[in-house]
Amino acid sequence: MKILVLNAGSSSQKCCLYDISSDTFPQEAPKPLWFAKVDWSHHQGTAEIEISTAKGAYLQEEISTDSRLEVIVYLLNTLHQGSTQVINQLSEIDIVGHRVVHGGREYRDSVLITEDVKNAIANLSNLAPEHNPANLEGIIAIAQQLGNIPQVAVFDTAFHSYIPHAAAIYPIPYEFVEQGIRRYGFHGISHQYCGNRAAQILNQDLASLRLINCHLGNGCSLAAIKNGRSIDTTMGFTPLDGLMMGNRSGAVDPGIIIYLMEKENYTPEQLNHLLNKESGLKGISGVSGDFRQICDAISQGCDRAQLALDIYIYRLKYYIGAMIASLEGLDVLIFTAGVGENVPDVRKLTCEGFSFLGLQLDNHKNENKPIDIDISSVNSTVRVLVIHTQEDWQIAYECWRQMTKNPRTKN
């Protein structure tokens, strides 16, 4: 089965093609046959494209366009033509999966895309203005290019959609709750993948484990997973809530926002920019929101970069503590995404805060580029895993699940 996966960001587009030949879904993610990455963030109007294949072909190109449709047409051509060709014709693709950021309260699972689903994704754009429209453009582009191929929407909010009301509802006047102002949570595809992968690595039933997944990338969030489902998460109504992030503040006293509006005449646009782009590691350090640059600045003696790291770790421990309370215990702590996978000191400093629980790291394993392994010591009361998150593979799994339960044929 050939599965094409699209993952659209506000100024990026990633795509990959998997080929699954076995009857059962493989436990471990293979390398995709073909992988493409498009970045519009450096120069407006210029798409920087990189394509690589499992056989080692590599193509780098810049095309002058802002149009996602044009770029997707270009990418699809490289699947069956030129140096990065991996299939003979596009009709070999069986199904296409899309990451869709917001599924609202309605979509609690991935779903085959119909006109109703497209309308719902469009209607939810007010809750994810930077992402849902981009996701929809990808869906429309594929329908234009591949006709009536089955397409699946895999929602980042779905994994969190069973969070109990007590954890999901903000204590504001109830009329706003009825309008849909509540905790939705994000990074759900990554949290779900990591939970499943943790159970595989430990060779235990996921339903028997209480897990906390720390997704620490540019955006950061925790999920508390019990009975295989998210029961609490740190991101909320928007991806601004919770942990301190690269450029985002995470949770702050809402009174600060009122103060800035009243005393400093901040507009909604300025507040949006301040909290989403100028805060977090960047805001405190004055250096960057990129963790590598924070580490470099600390090694050169920059006090504000050190303060940024101290707040980052403090808040991470603080929210892990909250998630332990939600779970009423902890069996597995997982670190994933750019920072979680690559920075041993973040794992060490965080885990030190929970030694009172009997959580102990194996320092040697922690320092030696662990991927998909248990880095806790034999005597630790909590298993600590580093997992390389694979959102695209989780989306491919959702496509495979849709195909096998509902084998709609292509035209």
Closer Cβ to ligand ADP, 92 or 130, answer by number: 130
Answer yes or no: is 277 a known binding residue.
Answer: no
Answer yes or no: is 364 a known binding residue.
Answer: no
Q: How far is CA 21 from CA 17, 181, 193, 284, in A?
A: 13, 44, 21, 50
Question: For residue 223, which of 285, 303, 162 has the smallest C-alpha distance?
Answer: 162
| List 23, 109, 156, 331, catalytic entry | 156
Q: How far is CA 101 from CA 51, 154, 180, 393, in A?
A: 24, 8, 16, 16
Nearest approach, Cβ of 261 to ligand ADP (angstroms)?
29
296 given a catalytic annotation: no
Closer Cβ to ligand ADP, 225 or 245, answer by number: 245
Alpha helices in 252-302 (DSSP H): 254-264, 268-277, 280-285, 291-299
Site of tokens 């394509």:
51
Answer yes or no: is 218 a known binding residue.
Answer: yes
Nearest approach, Cβ of 9 to ligand ADP (angstroms)?
8
Closer Cβ to ligand ADP, 105 or 292, answer by number: 292
Closer Cβ to ligand ADP, 199 or 245, answer by number: 245
Residue 147 CB neighbour total at 10 angstroms: 11
Site of tokens 């699954």:
20
Residue 135 burial by CB count (10 A; 0-12/13-18/19+): exposed, middle or buried? buried
Site of tokens 């248990």:
374
Nearest approach, Cβ of 371 to ligand ADP (angstroms)?
12
Look at the chain and count its residues.
Answer: 411
Contact 75, 49 (CB under 8 A): yes
Strand blocks (E) in 144-243:
151-155, 210-216, 220-226, 229-233
Closer Cβ to ligand ADP, 343 or 384, answer by number: 343
Answer yes or no: is 82 a known binding residue.
Answer: no
Nearest approach, Cβ of 411 to ligand ADP (angstroms)?
36
Chain-centre distance of CA 1, in angstroms? Answer: 25
Nearest approach, Cβ of 23 to ligand ADP (angstroms)?
32
- Residue 346 is classified by DSSP as H
Answer yes or no: is 148 a known binding residue.
Answer: no
Report angle CA 138, 142, 148 to the nearest 5 degrees. Answer: 140
Answer yes or no: is 338 a known binding residue.
Answer: yes
Answer yes or no: is 339 a known binding residue.
Answer: yes
Closer Cβ to ligand ADP, 188 or 217, answer by number: 217
Q: Tell me the C-alpha distance between 403 and 286, whole Å.
A: 49
Nearest approach, Cβ of 358 to ligand ADP (angstroms)?
29
Closer Cβ to ligand ADP, 292 or 408, answer by number: 292
Residues in contact with ligand ADP by the rule CB under 6 A: 217-219, 246, 290-292, 295, 337-339, 342-343
Q: Which residue is nearest to ligand ADP (CB)?
A: 338
Answer yes or no: is 182 a known binding residue.
Answer: no
Contact 145, 90 (CB under 8 A): yes
Sheet with 229-233: list strands edge to edge.
Answer: 229-233, 220-226, 210-216, 332-336, 383-386, 373-374
Annotated binding site for Mg(2+): 7, 391
Catalytic residues: 156
Annotated binding site: 7, 14, 99, 215-219, 290-292, 338-342, 391
